[in-house]
Amino acid sequence: MEEGTEKTEAKKKLLSGWAKNDPASAADHLDALVGEDDRGTGVKIVARRWGEQDPAGAAEWLTEQPESDSKKDAMRDVVRGFTSVDPEGA
């Protein structure tokens, strides 16, 4: 694996763990990364992890994100989170 790829994968794993334990804090970190190349991937990771615990909170955060393909993908993940956390409410 190339050094750049290893670094990217390490960032993804770190962000995923962070988002699992404290999704709001991980989201705040991402919000500070405006213009970063890997921000889109981060949005998907945080939204998925946050959506597993608090889909409403994840959806609210996503509404504040700039429009992008990553945001659309993340919103689909959050909707899936609603169906697993609150099937009746979904």
Q: What is the tens place of the pLDDT at every residue in 28-74?
A: 988 887 666 678 889 999 999 999 888 889 999 999 998 989 899 99
Q: How far from chain centre, in Å, is Cα 32?
A: 14
pLDDT category of residue 90 using cuts at 50, 70 and 90: low
Q: What is the pLDDT of residue 53?
A: 87
Alpha helices in the chain (DSSP H): 3-21, 23-31, 39-53, 55-63, 69-85
3-32 pLDDT, tens digit per residue, is 678 888 898 899 999 999 999 999 998 888
Predicted local distance difference test score (pLDDT) of residue 81:
76
